[in-house]
Amino acid sequence: MAETPPPAAGGKKLVIKVTAGADAPERCSQAFTVAGVAAASGIEVSLWLTGESAWFALPGRAAEFELPHAAPLPDLIAGIQAGGRITLCTQCAARRGIVEADVLDGVRIAGAQVFVAEATADGAQALVY
């Protein structure tokens, strides 16, 4: 029997940092899936793309990601953006030559100061994958 998800945590925010990409597909997929489910549940979500996940800030790159029995990343990204925000790490972008003009609509580039502020805000829960 499928479990019924708990009601959305009113006023709560989930900050998720994903460090993995195609190099660790299950960990990567889990981060996007958790973020997508949280956003669909009405929880405010802030997903941070760092390390190899930085590539998913670029148009078309999420569609290239494949993992059997996992939700497609483009669908998860759309759901996350509908209920939250996606941020690309400043240093991760710079190391990969990614600039603001390159990223998907709605993706911002920001640094550690913004991450720390979000992760330590009242009502925030931070997860790192």
Query: What is the pLDDT, as a whole number, of residue 25?
Result: 98
Of the chain, the percentage scoring pLDDT greater than 70 comes to: 92
Neighbours of 74 (CB within 10 A): 17
Give 91-128 pLDDT, tens digit per residue: 999 999 999 999 999 999 999 999 999 999 999 999 99
Every domain of the chain and the residues it spans:
13-128
- Reduced to 3 states (helix: H, G, I; strand: E, B; else coil), residue 19 is coil
pLDDT band at 10 (very low <50, low <70, confident <90, very high): low
The torsion angles phi and psi of 115, rounded to 5 degrees, stand at -60, -45
Query: What is the pLDDT, as a whole number, of residue 7?
Result: 42
Answer whether residue 2 shows pLDDT above 70.
no
Please count the residues of the chain.
Answer: 129
Among 115, 62, 63, residue whose Cα is nearest residue 89: 115
Distance CA 49, CA 35 (A): 12
Mean pLDDT of 51-65: 97
Are the C-beta atoms of 48 and 115 separated by less than 8 Å? yes
The torsion angles phi and psi of 58, rounded to 5 degrees, stand at -90, 140
Sequence-distant (6+) residues with CB within 8 A of 107 are: 49, 57, 86, 87, 88
Q: What is the DSSP string of 47-109?
A: EEE-GGGGGGGSTTTGGG---TTS--HHHHHHHHHHHEEEEEEHHHHHHTT--GGGSPTTEEE
**CATH match of 13-128 with 3.40.1260.10:** yes
Q: What is the pTM of this model?
A: 0.90
Answer whether residue 11 shows pLDDT above 80.
no
